[in-house]
Amino acid sequence: MYDVKSMCADDFINDDEIRDTLAYADAHKADVELIDQIIEKAKLRKGLTHREASVLLACELPDKLAEVYELAEQIKLDFYGNRIVIFAPLYLSNYCVNGCVYCPYHMKNKHIARKKLTQEEVAREVIALQDMGHKRLAIEAGEDPVNNPIEYILDCINTIYSIKHKNGAIRRVNVNIAATTVENYRRLKDAGIGTYILFQETYHKESYLKLHPTGPKHDYNYHTEAMDRAMEGGIDDVGLGVLFGLELYRYEFAGLLMHAEHLEAVHGVGPHTISMPRVKHADDIDPNAFDNSISDEIFAKLCALIRIAVPYTGMIISTRESQDVREKLLRLGISQVSGASRTSVGGYCEEERPHDTEQFDVSDQRTLDEVVCWLMDMGYIPSFCTACYREGRTGDRFMQLCKSKQIQNCCHPNALMTLDEYLEDYASPHTREVGRALIQKEIPTIPSQKVQQIVRENLDKIKQGSRDFRF
């Protein structure tokens, strides 16, 4: 039976409830009166239920979808402004004991070269990322209790934070590793991580078990209940995501929103982020082998509806997607992008992009400078800010800031100051010129006159060599 507050995955991601929801959506997908009511509710900026949002996903009425896209764009601006947070993934190890059929790291893959970074190699990777200008990383590792125990992950986090190179520093490490215990989540929290990220891959239990035939990840309930253990362990910023293309997208969409509703109902705070990956080509993985792939148009629709259904969440799109797709989705709700990503273990130290240990093909292969300039040319502020994590504005404290829209007096100026650091230390001459003009244009949009003045003073100090100012 469906129970949003249950701690059992079979109850809060309930198959009968999802199927009833999809049937309801099909029955009402052309019900203009109901659709108008749902859109009016979405305009209140307090979100939608999985059932309401599923009606909009089923709807194919062009005029109503146009309203949805326009609303998604406005809600994204209301909550996150024109800032786009930038990060990079750092792959530590591709040793893995799981049998996931969509991932080239699966245990039976004998084609891929297995590699695990030493702490010295981690340091070299971090310096390479710092020399690009990165300040925020998401670390990734396969699940292998022998090669990648929690102690190894913790050592890597400590190494990453310890590296100070020129003006570079990684100020926040987010973690994307396999589901683990409450005690291990406490250890990650004590290590100073930012967000704990774990993709569900698919919420369809039967499909999940087939797609994960062997290894500890085969345990659907243990995996799905990981965020509750993370919360119990003190990690109040968690990131959800499904791998679109593994199962029918409408089922995944409903399950994803039900998971967000569960976190809000039980812990008082929903997901800090929702990621939107799609199945892509990799070493021995053919995305055409999965018959649930979705078009760019459906992908954009999903993005817009997640934005209006969970308006407070950060939304992430990676370099799995092309420049064109990322550009379209930025408008509809995305607030974080990766830049200059390499999905191979040890890839950042290599002059040429290595492919022998990649988890997936990277579609957007531009440099970080090119990504920064591209964002600014479209009127976005590339943000390297990590202030909320370090000021304790996580979990419900961040959500209060976001939902009250006070974020404009905090995150907006922080974005401008971290962008100016990037311009001073790493940008090409053209990017520096574009960025400085953008900063001067954006300062007057900060609501507080006092904050505007502080920002101007801090920008002068940055030019004189000071770093790391934040509100």
- Two tokens at 135? 């300040």
Q: What are phi and psi of 382, to 5 degrees?
A: -65, 125
Mean pLDDT of 407-419: 90
Burial state string for 6-24 with b = 16 or more CB within 10 A and e = fewer than 16: beebbebbbeebbeebbee
Q: Which residue has the tokens 């520096």?
A: 432
> pTM for the full model?
0.94
Of the candidates 81, 70, 3, which has an alpha carbon nearest to the alpha carbon of residue 401?
81
Q: Report whether pLDDT(353) > 70.
A: no
Amino acid (1-letter code) at residue 146: V
With a cut of 60, say whether residue 12 has pLDDT above it: yes
Using DSSP bridges, classify how beta strands 238-241 and 164-165 pair: parallel, antiparallel or unpaired: unpaired
Tokens of 86: 């930038």
- Tokens for 238? 């968690």
* Rounded distance between C-alpha atoms, residue 217 and residue 292, angstroms: 21
Cα within 13 Å of Cα(4), Cβ side: 17
By CB neighbour count within 10 A (0-12 exposed, 13-18 middle, 19+ buried), where does 436 fall?
Answer: middle
Measured CA to CA, the distance from residue 371 to residue 259 in angstroms comes to 32
Q: 450-466: per-residue pLDDT in tens?
A: 999 999 999 999 999 99
What is the pLDDT at residue 276? 94
- Burial class from Cβ neighbours inside 10 Å (0-12, 13-18, 19+) for residue 244 reads buried
Q: Which sign does the torsion angle of CA 384, 309, 287, 91 carry?
A: positive
State how far the Cα of 404 lies from the Cα of 402, in Å rounded to an integer: 5
CA distance 109 to 99: 9
Report percent pLDDT > 90 for the chain. Answer: 83
> What is the per-residue pLDDT for 282?
54
Q: Is the dihedral angle over the CA atoms 394, 396, 401, 402 positive or is it negative?
A: positive
Take residue 74 and report the two structure tokens written for it.
């406005």
Please say whether the structural domain 79-365 has been given the CATH code 3.20.20.70: yes
CA distance 70 to 304: 9
pLDDT tens-digit readout, 274-302: 999 988 655 555 556 655 678 999 999 99
Q: How confident is the model at residue 355 (pLDDT cuts 50, 70, 90)?
A: low
**Best CA proximity match to 195, nearest among 241, 163, 155, 151:** 241
pLDDT band at residue 361 under the 50/70/90 scheme: low
Q: Can you read off the two tokens belonging to residue 235?
A: 């990690």
Of 6 and 113, more confident? 6
User: What tokens does 170 get?
Assistant: 């990684």
